[in-house]
Amino acid sequence: MPTKIEKDAFSGRDTTGHEWDGLKELNNPLPSWWFWTFVATVVWSIGFCIVYPSVPGISGYFGGIWGYSTRDAVTADVAALAAQRAQVLDKIKDVPIEKVRQDPTLMAVANTAGRIAFANNCQPCHGAGGEGRPGYPVLASDRWIWGGKLADLQQTITFGIRSGHAEARQSQMLRFGVDGVLKPEEIASAADYVMTLYGKAQPSPAAAKGQAIFAENCVACHGDSGEGKREVGGPSLKGAVHLYGDTREAVIAQITNPRMGVMPNWNARLDAATIKALALYVHALGGGEN
């Protein structure tokens, strides 16, 4: 339809030339408050783009003349929080760990700090209450691979296990299957014997054969009767709690190709006072030794 601008007789204004079924549209100017608000928002947005981070570039972005960054803001917040926590932790920082344990006030500080640090750092592997999960040991029982004294825990947490740190706890079970130290049937027999230690099988001729293999190959790390050897980090094979499952298949898999779990060295991420609090917290979970 051709547009035809005409003067409206009633208002004296031009029409836009659009017409729908006899209805014509008047070309009224924008209300000035609307117009100026619009101009103000444009000015504001240009100002905003100059002041704050805005235009993206190829390998970065224009950071704005105020240099504001939400990441810096978070870093500052985190630093403030750390300073606040450090103030609390300062109370136990220079006190020997045994002394902290004997002082109920300091122990309350350690417990709170330890609980928070445990939830933040340890829970994913060891469970919320230190109950452990497959591949990650229970920390809430008196069953320790490396020892449950305060000093043991402090050392384990500080340097880790097979963490790559020079002072990490190290232990290495031989890869009896993969490296051909034992034949598959010998491994199966050894597993039959281990199942009796786990309480999952009765003594049998097969297990007796396995016991001989065990005496020759395994006692150096797991102890004469599978009770474990802390000096070399050989876990106890007695009882019902195990790192890697208690089926015959799981035991055969471990003897064939041991998994060698890794526990990080926390001195890379946590300060000494936090580690002290963690050791006290873990110690108090139920399995602490004196």
Task: Extract the runs of DSSP E, i.e. beta strands, from the chain.
Answer: 15-20, 23-26
Dihedral of the alpha carbons of 70, 75, 81, 82, in degrees to the nearest 10: 170
Q: How far is the CB of 191 from ligand HEC (least distance, A)?
A: 7
3-state secondary structure of 176: coil
User: Other C-beta atoms within 10 Å of 239: how many?
Assistant: 13
Residues paired with residue 20 on neighbouring β-strands, in sequence order: 23
Q: Which is nearer to ligand HEC, 97 or 251 (CB)?
A: 251
Residues paired with residue 289 on neighbouring β-strands, in sequence order: 149
Q: Which is nearer to ligand HEC, 54 or 140 (CB)?
A: 140
H or E element, residue 227:
none
Q: Which is nearer to ligand HEC, 113 or 153 (CB)?
A: 153
Q: How far is the CB of 166 from ligand HEC (least distance, A)?
A: 17
What is the binding site for ligand HEC (CB under 6 A)?
A: 121-122, 124-126, 136-137, 139, 144-146, 153, 156-157, 161, 171-174, 176, 190, 194, 214, 217-218, 220-222, 232-235, 237, 242-244, 251, 254-255, 258-264, 266, 278, 282
* CA 143 – CA 165 distance, rounded (Å): 25
Q: Which is nearer to ligand HEC, 242 or 276 (CB)?
A: 242
Q: How far is the CB of 275 from ligand HEC (least distance, A)?
A: 8
Q: How far is the CB of 82 from ligand HEC (least distance, A)?
A: 16
Q: Which is nearer to ligand HEC, 63 or 203 (CB)?
A: 203
Q: How far is the CB of 258 from ligand HEC (least distance, A)?
A: 5
3-state secondary structure of 238: coil
* CA 240 – CA 49 distance, rounded (Å): 65
